[in-house]
């Protein structure tokens, strides 16, 4: 069924590699991009190349950075005494959006997953320990996800960090805001009950 020219088929094949994009969506995206006015394809292409060339890891917290330290490590107004530990750079934005955290971050670069061969040495844990030695940190917030790997990683880090005399906290589990009791799963509800606080 070769009714498109090669360069179009190749573009569709590349777009099909994106997450959640099947061959039909890839075709729709390709047509949309090529039909855009003002060199839409070239603009997207140059944004891709520039990002791939410029982006690197922050040497301190492993967040995405362009050159040297990331914007968050460079920001002098942030609180140096708290470090929030997350799995990946994409976890930083939702926490920033919540407006409830003004400390520093540390990106692990993954979660412990023995099945996939990811042990403590594959994550930026050594670098976290070095930061805790050199910086005056009072609290480490473990903000990995609430899945099996997230919990295991948080538990591993808690065991590792508590002997250092730090306050080690874990983000709360419970009802999502706006959630109906009727529709919530029983494990979440059990966590919400266990984590209940006095009114």
Residues that bind a copy of itself (CB under 8 A): 1-8, 10-11, 13-15, 17-20, 25, 27-34, 36, 39-52, 54-55, 63-66, 70-72, 88-90, 92-93, 96-97
CA atoms within 13 A on the CB side of 130: 7
User: H or E segment at 158?
Assistant: helix 148-161
Residue with smaller CB distance to a copy of itself, 5 or 163? 5
Reduced to 3 states (helix: H, G, I; strand: E, B; else coil), residue 132 is helix
Residue among 10 and 162 whose Cβ is closer to a copy of itself? 10
Shortest Å distance, C-beta 29 to a copy of itself: 5
Q: How far is the CB of 142 from a copy of itself (least distance, A)?
A: 20
Q: Which two tokens stand for residue 155?
A: 């538990």
Min. distance of Cβ 114 from a copy of itself in angstroms? 22
Is 173:188 a contact under the CB 8 Å cutoff?
yes
> Least separation, in Å, of the C-beta of 70 and a copy of itself?
7
- CA 145 to chain CA mean position, Å: 10
Question: Distance between CA 23 and CA 8 in Å, rounded?
Answer: 12
Q: Between residues 89 and 150, which has the closer beta carbon with respect to a copy of itself? A: 89
**Nearest CB to a copy of itself, comparing residues 90 and 130:** 90
CB under 8 Å to 96, separation ≥6 — which residues?
Answer: none
Paired with 167 in beta bridges are 139
Q: Which is nearer to a copy of itself, 24 or 126 (CB)?
A: 24
Pairing of strands 64-65, 56-57: antiparallel
Q: How far is the CB of 83 from a copy of itself (least distance, A)?
A: 15
* Shortest reach from residue 167's CB to a copy of itself, in Å: 24
Rg (CA), the chain: 22
Residue nearer to a copy of itself on the CB measure, 40 or 120: 40
């Amino acid at each position: 069924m070769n009714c498109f020219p090669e360069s179009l088929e190749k573009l569709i094949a590349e777009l099909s590699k994106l997450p959640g994009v099947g061959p039909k969506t890839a075709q729709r995206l390709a047509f949309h991009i090529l039909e855009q006015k003002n060199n839409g394809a070239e603009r997207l292409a140059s944004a891709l190349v520039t990002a791939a060339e410029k982006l690197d890891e922050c040497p301190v917290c492993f967040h995405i950075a362009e050159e040297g330290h990331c914007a968050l490590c460079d920001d002098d107004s942030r609180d140096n005494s708290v470090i929030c530990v997350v799995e990946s750079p994409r976890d930083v934005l939702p926490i920033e959006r919540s407006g409830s955290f003004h400390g520093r971050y540390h990106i692990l670069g993954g979660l412990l997953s023995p099945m996939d061969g990811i042990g403590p040495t594959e994550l930026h844990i050594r670098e976290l320990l070095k930061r805790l030695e050199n910086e005056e940190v009072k609290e480490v917030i473990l903000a990995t996800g609430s899945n099996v790997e997230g919990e295991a990683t948080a538990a591993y880090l808690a065991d590792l960090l508590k002997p250092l005399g730090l306050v080690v906290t874990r983000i709360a589990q419970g009802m999502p805001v706006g959630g109906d009791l009727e529709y919530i799963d029983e494990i979440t509800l059990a966590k919400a009950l266990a984590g209940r606080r006095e009114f």
